[in-house]
Amino acid sequence: MNGFIDLDVQNYVESFYDFKELDSMQSYAEENYVPIVSKDTAMFISFLVNIKKPSNILELGSAIGYSSILMAKSYKETKIDTVERNEDMLALSEKNILKHGLTDRIKVYLSDANDYLKSCKNTYDMIFIDAGKSHYKEYLVNGLKLLKEDGIILCDNVLFKGYIAKDIDIKKHRTTINNLKSFMDYLKEREDLKVSILTVGDGLALIRRK
């Protein structure tokens, strides 16, 4: 799926995926070309949430609610604010959240991600960024203002099919690739941040303050 590892190895890793109650959502996403996190990314995020045990999480980019439901199921005490700008996606995410009995723990906001970040008064233990890839730098800068001192930020798709590491020009994705490269360079420059880049899924960045 992501091209970073041998397909047989990937299939083996994904055989450890045990969120069978989310299979119908995954099938819907595949059939309708809705981007959600890959199985190996889902496993990692679930593991991290279970270790971190965050009281609250902010997610930028709800889509159909897959990731927020996954995180809520990974730690039963966490509450999640998830932001989505597409009304149709928001309706689907709310439907799925209701189906899984999580309306008391997951709240969906119809908003542009940056607008939410700039107006939000809450602080969070964890922020998961999975919205417009060309705006990751803005999301990070604004998100850090809402992040608790020992909080963690996760950014998905930072390697973008591996194109970030290659000197090739793909017209269709040129703007996204260039903006993501700029974002990754920015992460290198931030001496106040501890950053780890994982070749999980489509690339995952873990960020926290030093």
> What average pLDDT score do residues 139-150 get?
97
pLDDT digits (tens, 9 = 90+) for 41-60: 999 999 999 999 999 999 99
pLDDT tens, position by position, 90-111: 999 999 999 999 999 999 999 9
Edge to edge, what strands does the sheet with 106-110 contain? 106-110, 79-84, 56-60, 124-129, 147-156, 204-209, 193-198
Does residue 25 belong to any structural domain of this protein? yes
Confirm whether 91 is domain-assigned: yes
Count up the domains in the chain and report the number: 1
The DSSP letter of residue 42 is H
Q: Residue 131's domain is classified under what CATH number?
A: 3.40.50.150
- Identify the pLDDT of residue 3: 56
Paired residues of 128 in beta bridges: 59, 154
Tell me whether residue 1 is in a domain: no
Least confident range from 10-19, 84-93, 123-132: namely 10-19
Instruction: Return the pLDDT at 29.
Output: 93
Assigned domain for 59 exists: yes
Residue with the bigger pLDDT between 33 and 15: it is 33
For residue 114, pLDDT beyond 80: yes
Given a cut of 60, is residue 18 above it in pLDDT?
A: yes
Q: Which residue has the tokens 């909080």?
A: 151
**Mean per-residue pLDDT for 56-83?**
97
Whether residue 46 lies inside any domain: the answer is: yes
pLDDT confidence band for 173 (50 / 70 / 90): confident
Q: Residue 40 is part of which domain span? A: 7-209
What is the distance between the alpha carbons of residues 193 and 174, in angstroms, rounded to a whole number?
27
Q: Report if residue 67 sits inside a domain.
A: yes
Distances (CA, A) of 149 to 118, 146, 159, 191, 207: 18, 9, 27, 16, 12
Strands (E), the chain: 56-60, 79-84, 106-110, 124-129, 147-156, 193-198, 204-209
Any domain includes 2: no
Domain membership of residue 189 (yes or no) is yes
